[in-house]
Amino acid sequence: MKIRIIPAILAAAAVAVTLCSCSKSETTGTSAGTVITDCNVGETVTFGSYEQDNDTSDGAEAIEWTVLDKQDGKALLISNYALEAKAFNDEAWNSSRWDTCSLRTWLNDEFYNTAFSSSEQEKIQTTDITDEDIKGLSNDGGNSTQDKVFILSSDEIVKYYNLSEDNLSHDELVLMPTEYAAAHGAATYFEDGSCWWWMRSEGYFASDILAVDYNGKLDYINPDNDDYCVRPALWITLG
């Protein structure tokens, strides 16, 4: 299957253009990590590092994020690329609850400790995660959690990408995997190399979880697909 990765500058521009008019973010880099002193919604910033070019000999690459929200001296970031291919829940094909899924464990343990220095971890906020029932159906959203790293819910996708029940797709939701994620099993669309990526909201049945497809449209899928991708999000303290 042919893989094509869009250069970082193009992907960043595609997201930033429609989210807002942006000014330059202020960052400070040290050997201990990156401190983001200020930023604006829609900007691309770098924070943390993770293997992305699939060449471990040159070390991990800086992670690029888009600023989705900013309030009270904090910023909500979402990665510009799919960083890994992983199942939402590799322990139970029919369980799509965020509070018990294997992806939540991986994000808040292995990924958190690999991608961020101790000083960067101090900047990452603990976020209260509460997911509502989907359209009042019988499936509950699971127990509330407190997470350092998470993935977006359907409500957050609708809010930050201006979706509606009549329009559940958006070009800005089309996502490319890194070369590392593609080499480690990310399923990609043959025409442009885009991938599916997970959300944390349950679907109509216990075996359904929402995800974003190759074309940027919300859809349901079984949670044990290990070729779907991870797009982390987190809140950080600025300054």
Q: Element (H or E) spanning 159, and its range?
A: helix 154-161
**189-206 tens-digit pLDDT:** 988 999 999 999 987 777
Query: Helix (H, G, I), strand (E, B), or coil: what is residue 100?
Result: helix
Q: Which of 2-6, 74-78, 143-147, 202-206 is most confident?
A: 74-78
Q: How many CB atoms lie within 10 A of CB 213?
A: 19
3-state secondary structure 112-125: HHHHCCHHHHHHEC
Question: If you ran DSSP here, which 8-state letter would residue 90 be given?
Answer: S
CA-based nearest residue to 71, from 236, 201, 187, 228: 236
- Assign 26 a pLDDT band (cuts: 50, 70, 90): low
Question: If you ran DSSP here, which 8-state letter would residue 179 be given?
Answer: H
**175-188 tens-digit pLDDT:** 999 999 999 999 99
Looking at residue 138, its pLDDT comes to 44
Looking at residue 91, its pLDDT comes to 77
Looking at residue 77, its pLDDT comes to 98
Q: Which two tokens stand for residue 154?
A: 């359907």
Q: Which two tokens stand for residue 90?
A: 């590799």
Calculate the dihedral angle through the C-alpha atoms of 99, 156, 66, 86, rounding to the nearest 10 degrees: 40
Q: Which two tokens stand for residue 35?
A: 């401190």
Looking at residue 132, its pLDDT comes to 58
Above 60 in pLDDT, residue 164? Answer: yes
Task: Name residue 191's amino acid.
Answer: E
Judged on CB neighbours under 10 Å (0-12, 13-18, 19+), 62 is middle
Mean pLDDT in residue range 107-131: 96
Q: Which residue has the tokens 């349901």?
A: 220
Looking at residue 153, its pLDDT comes to 93
Cβ-contact 51, 58 below 8 angstroms: no
Looking at residue 35, its pLDDT comes to 85
Above 50 in pLDDT, residue 166? Answer: yes
φ, ψ at 48 (rounded to 5°)? 75, 180
Dist CA 5 CA 42 (whole Å): 21
Cβ-contact 77, 45 below 8 angstroms: yes
Mean pLDDT, rounded, of the chain = 84
Mean pLDDT in residue range 150-172: 87
Q: How many CB atoms lie within 10 A of CB 83?
A: 23
Could you please report the per-residue DSSP string of 8-73?
HHHHHHHHHHHH------EEEEETTEEEEEE--TT-EEEEEEE--SS-GGG-PEEEEEEEEEEETT
Of 24-33, 136-145, 190-199, 221-230, the range with the lowest mean pLDDT is: 24-33
φ, ψ at 70 (rounded to 5°)? -150, 125
Domain locations along the chain: 8-237
| pTM confidence score | 0.84
